[in-house]
Structure formats: C-alpha cells, structure tokens
Structure 1
Amino acid sequence: MSAFRDGLFNGKSVFVAGGTSGINLGIAQRFAALGAKVGVIGRDPDRAARAAASIGEGALGLSADVRDYAATRAAMEQVAAAHGAFDVVVSGAAGNFLAPALNMSANAFKTVVDIDLNGTFNVFRGAHDLLNKPGASLIAITAGQAINASPLQAHACAAKAGINQLVRVLAMEWGPDVRVNGISPGPIENTEGMARLAPDAASRAAYYERIPMRRWGEIDEIAEAAVFLSSPSAGFITGTILDCDGGSQLGDASRQSLERGMG
C-alpha cells in the first residue's frame, strides 16, 4: 500500500531507463498506479513489451541500450512525443557480477562502467531538453558500493561512486529548474542483482545477520522512495543520495560484532 494519495501524478510523464525488470519496473508500476503516464526502456524488446503490459494501459516499452546515446535519445523522444515532457526520469540500468580484479578483463570492467555510469549520464543528458521545467525530478539508482569498498566489486564500486558524484554535480549545474537525486538500495528481495550476489542460503543468511533491520528490503519500498523524491514533499531536496537499505551502510550489526564491541 502506498503512503501517497491516489492521483498524485495524474497527467505527469515518467521515463524509466532499465525499467523492464526488478527495482526499476517496480518504480515504473508505482508511478503508473499514482496516475502517471509511463515509458520504459531496456535492451530486450520482448521484455520491454511485457513490462509495458504489466505497468498498465498506455505505458510504452521500448528497446534501447543506455550505452548507446543516440538510441537512448531516440527512445526518449518517442516517449515524450506520446506522453509529453518528462516530469520524472529514473536511470536504473545496471550490470554486475563477482570477480577479483586480476581475473577481470579490461572489457568486463568497461562494460559495467559503461552501463552504470555512462548510461546514467546518457539518460540524464539526453533527457534535459525533454524535461518539464521547472520542477522536473531526476533520480539515479546507485548502490552502497559507491561508499563502501567491496572485494570482487572493483567495477561496480567505481561506477557507483561516479554516479553519486554525477548526481551532485548535475544538481549544482541544473538547479533550480531540475532536481537531481539518487537512491541507494540495500539488499532487495526478488531482484536479479541479489540473486547473483547471494545465490545460496548461506550467503543470504550472512546478509540478514549483518543488517540492523534483520531483513532484506522490498521493491515497493524503493518505489516509495522514488515517489517521495519526485513529490512536492521533496521540493527542497537535490543533490542527495537517499540510503534505503535497512541500515546496511552503517556497518556490521551482526550479533557477533555487537558482542565483540561490548566485550
């Protein structure tokens, strides 16, 4: 259940890059449920079509790779022509896998940086003249690796740190007409990313134990954060990275860690 009133985004246009699955699809569905006209892009045209059908009547699902600026821009122009200037743009396309740096090729490193960091720039830069200004909201989906170095994640850590700084710079350059923020999810249930990072019961249990909230988050909770950052309630918030992670960024809250601290 949403904390926001029905119809809050009636007549608004929302564009979600990477919105064909997982967290980003959940965000797109939430905006549509609150009245927005929604367009999403992803690399797979079939998945994009299925995503649009799940979002609801009038939703557009297009195929485009965020690494390709021209293709991304063309898709945005098509959505804007159908739905009007964008009130909200979410950039959430991402790639990740576990690998030590010495086992990672230069191309593998570049691929993640291209999707995550360069893709975010392409989406935001390509959207700028299609935004409904003043008042437009841009949201990047980042991750805790931007702050906390993680072994086997050199590519993701570098890319996400770049996204956080890009958010801050664009907030400075594009204010007051456009607000630019980020959301940093923690471990979220039923996402492809966590299926890769915690593929078995033991790794899942280890995640649970370290998080102060003692659970993984829900896609709906990230969607609510995106709605908040795009709502009038967040009208004076820009350049912020909102941690929505159950306290993951605070450090190891496992019972063993707490007992060591009190010993």
Structure 2
Amino acid sequence: MNIGRHSLFRVAAPFLHNLRRSSLFPPRTDVMLPPKTFQDSVALVTGGGTGLGKAMSTTLSTLGATVAIMSRKLDVLEKTAEEISSKTGNKVYPFQVDVRDPKAIASAVDRLVDAVGLPSVVINNAAGNFVSPTERLSPNAVKTVLEIVLHGTAYVTLDVGKRLIKAGQGASFLSIIATYTTSGSGFVVPSAAGKAGVEALTKSLASEWGRYGMRFNCIAPGPIITKGAFSRLDPTGELRERFKGRIPVGRFGDTAEIANLASYLVSDYANWLTGHTVVLDGGELAYSSGEFNAMTEVPEEKWDALETMIRQVKGS
C-alpha cells in the first residue's frame, strides 16, 4: 500500500483549517480587570506610542493609571497620548527618549517624577528587530538591536529601580520578550540574543530585588499583526499563513490579549508571581517543539492506511 509523502498530508490550503479552529477561540478584546485597578498609580511604558505598547498603555489608562509613554518619535507619542487621554479621561505623558541613551532616560524620569511621582509599574517594551541572514549583518546592525533590546531595558530598569530603592517604594516590572529566547532562532539572531539577556536580567532581579518590594516578569508573545513588527519581519506578507498554520488555535494574537495579560501581571492581583515568563502564543511554541505535531494535518481517512502499515512492521 503506497501513501507517499506528498499524499499523506492535506493538499488543501491551510486557510480553511485555520478558519475552523480560530472560530473556536475568538479573542476577547474587552478590558479584563475591574475599573480603577490602577487608580493613583503611575505607569511607565517604553515603546508606548504604537503597537503592543500603545495597547498596554491604553488598557492601563482605562484602569485608572497615569501613564508615561516613551519612544524616539515625539510626534507619534503626542498623537497617541492625546488619543488615549481623550478615550480614558486620564493624563498620558509623552517623553521623547532613545532608550540607548542613559542620560536621556534619566532626564525623562526626572521630569516624570517632578510631574506625578515615581512609577509603580514599568513595562519595557521598546524593541528593534528585522529579518536577515546573519552573515549579512554588519557590526552596527548587531550593536543597534542589542542596545535597544538589552541595554535599553537594563538602563530603564536600573534608573527607575535605584530611585525606588532610595525612596523605599515597590513596583512591578514587566518586559516583553519573544518565544525564541529558549530555543533561539535563525535570521533574528541579535534579537534572540538580546531578549534572552532581558529574560535573564528579569529572573535575576526577581531574586535580588524582591527584598525591595519589586516584582519582575516577562511576556513572550506569539505572532501578532502590528505594523512596526511585521513590516520588518514579513515585508512581503508571504509568511503569514505559514506562521498561522503552526498555531493550534488557528489565528494570530490580538494586542488586547497582550494588554489584558500585561495589566494582570503588573497589578496587585499577581503579587505572588515573580521571576517568570508567561508565553501567550496560541500554542505555537508547544506545537513547534514536538516532532510529530505536524501530523495534525493528516486527514482522518489516511490514518487507517497508516495503522495498517504500522501493524505490518515485524521485529524491533
């Protein structure tokens, strides 16, 4: 009996299978936590002008926080701050900062403290990434990504953390990393190295600075369609359906899902959670880790033939 390699798996496009699965797992985009969860709290979000940063900032502001957003583009920040404030009624402060510059970070935090006080929530979301064969990378390309991802996170964390220690104030820190920090990934090597460093930094400080009333956690998101990320990681759009086919729930994530998880992790509801990475990826990491998981695409009618072939195997 011959069921060749090409006839074993479904020949139909994966789109319909993804559609069926995703209908069973629709995203919830409403705000999860109770209103006023962050009333009288100050939250600092790097990379807060767009994408995931904007979504997290919006949710925190909706829940009562005074939010400060940081990135390099002031016009984008000002537009986002106005948009969020008009929606939530709470003040959002835009600060133009390159997280690679410790002096710029210190100056911005000085202004934030003068305006509203020290933050009790810090979300390190600023990132830099693009796809490229590693042999094509220049030293400056590697340096830029590592400085934004790893050094920037360290600079923000150290600047705010030292102030908190001096003031005797606690806080919750959250960093946005990636699912490939544990496995590594080709074609995004500087990002993988940088985010792995952020994860190590997070877990290390969770142990060392817990005595100061600080918690540290990470979120490792799966694929989420945002303009900034996907324009550099999938500029032609050809990889999206392939990515989606590796996600057991059959769809990409929604920024609101990350925002809800982030708001929980930095809230008092998660006060016993520190030193961990929470993976939110629709099951993609688990699927990619199993050698035989692609056999979900074997049609039911093929399994009878496979079972017959297996039973015919003699000996060990």
* TM-score after normalising by structure 2: 0.78
Aligned to 1:258: 296
CA–CA distance in structure 2, aligned partners of residues 148 and 247 of structure 1: 15
> Contact between 1:77 and 1:130, CA under 8 Å: does it hold in 2?
no
Deviation at 1:248, TM superposition (A): 1.7
Aligned to 2:73: 44
> Contact between 1:145 and 1:156, CA under 8 Å: does it hold in 2?
no
Aligned to 1:60: 93
Q: Report whether the alignment pairs 1:154 with 2:192.
A: no
Match of 1:24 among 50, 53, 61: 53
Q: Which moved more, 1:14-23 or 1:80-89?
A: 80-89
Match of 1:140 among 175, 188, 191: 175
Unmatched runs of 5 consecutive residues or more in structure 1 = none
CA–CA distance in structure 1, aligned partners of residues 78 and 197 of structure 2: 31
Amino acid at match of 2:265: L
Amino acid at match of 2:264: F
Q: Percent identity?
A: 33
Amino acid at match of 1:242: V
CA–CA distance in structure 1, aligned partners of residues 294 and 284 of structure 2: 16
CA–CA distance in structure 1, aligned partners of residues 271 and 193 of structure 2: 30
Deviation at 1:241, TM superposition (A): 0.7
Counterparts of residues 165-204 of structure 1 (less than 5 Å): 165-176=200-211, 177-204=213-240
Amino acid at match of 2:107: A
Match of 1:121 among 151, 154, 163: 154
Aligned to 1:230: 266
Q: Which moved more, 1:180-189 or 1:247-256?
A: 247-256
Size of the alignment, in residue pairs? 262
CA–CA distance in structure 1, aligned partners of residues 268 and 249 of structure 2: 29
Quickly say closer, same or farther: Cα 1:133–1:141, change in 2 above 3 A.
Answer: farther
User: What SS does structure 2 have at the residue aligned with 1:246?
Assistant: coil
> Contact between 2:120 and 2:170, CA under 8 Å: does it hold in 1?
yes
Amino acid at match of 1:82: A
CA–CA distance in structure 2, aligned partners of residues 201 and 40 of structure 1: 29
> Contact between 1:16 and 1:28, CA under 8 Å: does it hold in 2?
yes
Deviation at 1:134, TM superposition (A): 4.9
CA–CA distance in structure 2, aligned partners of residues 80 and 14 of structure 1: 11
Aligned to 1:5: 34
Deviation at 1:243, TM superposition (A): 0.7
CA–CA distance in structure 1, aligned partners of residues 237 and 46 of structure 2: 31
User: What SS does structure 1 have at the residue aligned with 2:67?
Assistant: strand
User: What SS does structure 1 have at the residue aligned with 2:248?
Assistant: coil
Deviation at 1:139, TM superposition (A): 0.5
Deviation at 1:136, TM superposition (A): 1.0
CA–CA distance in structure 2, aligned partners of residues 112 and 234 of structure 1: 31
Quickly say closer, same or farther: Cα 1:179–1:121, change in 2 above 3 A.
Answer: same
* TM-score after normalising by structure 1: 0.94
User: What SS does structure 1 have at the residue aligned with 2:239?
Assistant: helix
> Contact between 1:133 and 1:178, CA under 8 Å: does it hold in 2?
no
Aligned to 1:90: 123
Deviation digits for residues 199-228 of structure 1 (CA, Å, limit 9, x no counterpart): 344311001100111110011111111111
Deviation at 1:191, TM superposition (A): 3.9
Deviation at 1:45, TM superposition (A): 1.3
Deviation digits for residues 127-186 of structure 1 (CA, Å, limit 9, x no counterpart): 113447554100011111212222211111111111110101111110031001111111
> Contact between 1:181 and 1:229, CA under 8 Å: does it hold in 2?
yes
Amino acid at match of 2:68: G
CA–CA distance in structure 1, aligned partners of residues 204 and 221 of structure 2: 21
Q: Which has the higher contact order (CA 8 A, sep 6+)?
A: 2
Regions of 4+ moved over 2 Å: 129-135, 198-202, 251-260
> Contact between 1:13 and 1:85, CA under 8 Å: does it hold in 2?
yes
Deviation at 1:255, TM superposition (A): 7.5
User: What SS does structure 1 have at the residue aligned with 2:238?
Assistant: helix
